[in-house]
Amino acid sequence: MTKTNADKRLAELDVDELEEAEAAVELARLSNEIARHDELYHRDDAPLIDDAAYDALRQRNEAIEAKYPALIREDSPRHRVGAAVNEAFSSAPHSVPMLSLGNAFEQSDVEEFLSRIRRFLSLSEEAPLEIAGEPKIDGLSISLTYENGKLVRGATRGDGQVGEDVTRNILTISEIPTTLEGNDIPALIDVRGEIYMSHADFLSLNERQEAAGAKLFANPRNAAAGSLRQLDPKITAGRPLKFFAYAVGDSAAMIEASGGRIATHSDVIAELQSWGFPTNPLSRVLSDAASLMAFYDEVGAARATLGYDIDGIVYKVNDLALQARLGFVSRAPRWAIAHKFPAEKAMTIVEAIDIQVGRTGVLTPVAKLAPVTVGGVVVSNATLHNEDEIERKDVRVGDWVIVQRAGDVIPQVVEVMLNKRAADLPRFEFPTRCPVCGTKAERAIDPKTGRTDAARRCLGGFGCPAQAKEQLKHFVSRSAYDIEGLGDKQIDAFYEDELVREPADIFTLAQRDEASPLTSLKNRDGWGEKSVSKLFAAIDERRSIGLDRFIFALGIRHVGSATARDLARFYGNVESFYQAMSAAYDEESDAFQALSNIDGIGQVVARSLSHYFHEQLNRAKVENLLQHVEVEPVEFETISSDVSGKTVVFTGKLEEMSRGEAKALAERLGAKVAGSVSGNTDILVAGPGAGSKLKKAEEHGVQVMTEAEWLALVS
């Protein structure tokens, strides 16, 4: 999906300056941008940005989520891995998901990573904590399945759950053993690693490509990915691919096969090497933040001499038992992080400043640049985010500016070169009316704080074509209804021709098309019978959807995928959800109190939801949509237990485990974790220092138990 103006406008504002409402908009922007580039990188092998720019997107996302954990979306990059598989390959489900990693960019990020681990495990600063460090290879992740020591399948990462079956191509790579040799080999084991291409081999390959008049590869990573994902294994066999093994899918299988001899990640790597896998010789076991940083500097200094591309260092908790306790946070393990190398900058001139309008009405300024190469990619746009940022940096048309691609797909303007400014350049005047519909555009004022919103919004609502189109684009986006064949261009065209003006129209499109043969889609430019048939089939496939994706697809302000998932978990089905939202407009009502008490929701999100469903236009759109789609209750993977379905609140200091570990355990057991006590609360787990929540629980007759009693109940 292309980046919307509302998604772009806040990207240059410091995280510390973001209000909660601004943070929600920014997280939505980041989610859409990263999803798009996941597909370009993982599925299409055609990235538009370099690793530094991509990683900075994730860094900003994580920083905002750390500040506003209640806004974490289900489609957050931390919950998502890779991209859907290419239909040209057979799908290959992973028995253990291939997750990605969180990112660190500064020493403080690394120190915080170590602190988080200690907090989660309740480890003191003096307790030893071994960390395995290894170079992060810039290649293509692969999973190799061995049965009784024989290679039976090779699969790409895909979306983390399902990859592409590239077994025939894998068999052509000489560095990957087809038969394992050694001791204690499990009957079934998935070996994870990275396929890459050396610098020398990359240059030789491009020389051969040029001599043959074929397309040149942009970099070794693209060359490796493109070579592996060939439909003809003979082409792959002629490409110089290499491999490093870095993990296994399920270390428990190795632990069991070794009789407990294997206890650490470094043990796993040594075992893989003994079976015939190449592993990175620079890997090392480290002990503290200082040694991690020293290793980072050491490898970074040698980066140019390695002969292959790396884009950072990966740190992993070495102890496998601690890894198991730490577990995962959707997309990534808690026990690992990638410490990335920095990005690049360039200087160019601002040729114009355009104002774009997003789905929530936000007016976003974008600088049109004289094309310049940054990090090997030619860029011509830079986000300016909002009028305050333009004023603060005093960006003017005609200015020379420093831009960087770190932190945004559309680069950021980092600095204005005032010493190169012409004396007669006028200041940029930000419009006070929507450039699309002409409606007045205002900056809201928070009645509680008196602070003026950073965003100026068009007040035209769905009457503004720009907002209506962006809402529809959000509805069909990957994390929402994910309708193949309905991209930005199609939505724009269908909207302009009044074929699709609201989500329900999508599901009546085929019926209306059949009833109007003279204006049938197949007669339009760029369409034919086959493409129209595929579109209608894709729409039909989405007539049934999970409640969480349905809620997210509505595009309600502040409601990301994580919030939608929390709501789906709490309300269970669309009837209960719709009824509760309709009743929640009165903030004194039980419905509003229950909504705002859901862990991760809060007053701001609750208000946004209740106001959305109070608007008659929105209710009509939802009701129209429900006439054409079926919304399925979402089944979450949990363990059946005595607390399944119960609402639990934790308060006070927990001594046996951290609050995060307790919450994760409760949710795995099927409980709903709320942030505050209400009449719907079933259990309050109260540690030392419990205050008002304990008193409120007693007032509501909620069962109160100590941490020890809770652990005994769920053991």
Instruction: Give catalytic residues, as residue numbers.
Output: 136
H helices, E strands: number in the chain: 27, 26
- Phi, psi angles (nearest 5°) of residue 583: -90, -5
Tokens of residue 94, six digits: 């992973």
Q: Which residue has the tokens 């004022």?
A: 445
> Which residues on adjacent β-strands are paired with residue 433?
440
Interatomic CA distance for residues 530 and 525, integer angstroms: 13
The dihedral sign for the CA sequence 635, 639, 645, 651: negative
3-state secondary structure of 410: coil
> Which residues on adjacent β-strands are paired with residue 349?
400
Q: Is 84 left (phi over 0), alpha (psi -120 to 50) or beta?
A: beta
Tokens of residue 105, six digits: 């960019």
3-state secondary structure of 241: coil
Q: Is 170 left (phi over 0), alpha (psi -120 to 50) or beta?
A: alpha
3-state secondary structure of 609: helix
Q: Which of 660, 699, 707, 667 is nearest to 681 (CA)?
A: 699
Are residues 379 and 371 in contact, defined by beta-carbon separation less than 8 angstroms? yes
Are residues 544 and 536 in contact, defined by beta-carbon separation less than 8 angstroms? no
> Which residues on adjacent β-strands are paired with residue 647?
672
Helix (H) or strand (E) holding 507: helix 503-507
Q: Is 373 exposed, middle or buried (0-12, 13-18, 19+ CB in 10 A)?
A: exposed
Integer CA distances (angstroms), 154 to 144, 189, 229, 474, in order: 5, 12, 11, 34
First to last CA, the chain: 45
3-state secondary structure of 651: strand
Tokens of residue 476, six digits: 């069909």
Integer CA distances (angstroms), 501 to 309, 490, 630, in order: 47, 12, 20
DSSP code, position 584? T
The dihedral sign for the CA sequence 523, 527, 529, 532: negative
DSSP code, position 529? H
**DSSP secondary structure, 247-294, as one string:** EES-HHHHHHHTTT---BHHHHHHHHHHTT----TT-EEE-SHHHHHH
Q: Which residue has the tokens 């296994």?
A: 248
Interatomic CA distance for residues 291 and 132, integer angstroms: 11
Interatomic CA distance for residues 192 and 173, integer angstroms: 15
Integer CA distances (angstroms), 226 to 39, 77, 205, 246, in order: 14, 24, 12, 21
Quote the Cα angle for 191-193-197, to 5°. Answer: 145
Q: Which of 53, 30, 46, 9 is nearest to 345 (CA)?
A: 53
Helix (H) or strand (E) holding 368: strand 363-374
- Phi, psi angles (nearest 5°) of residue 188: -140, 125
> Which residues on adjacent β-strands are paired with residue 366?
354, 383
3-state secondary structure of 110: helix
In the chain, helix, strand, coil percent, each to 5?
Answer: 40, 20, 40
Tokens of residue 613, six digits: 């469903």
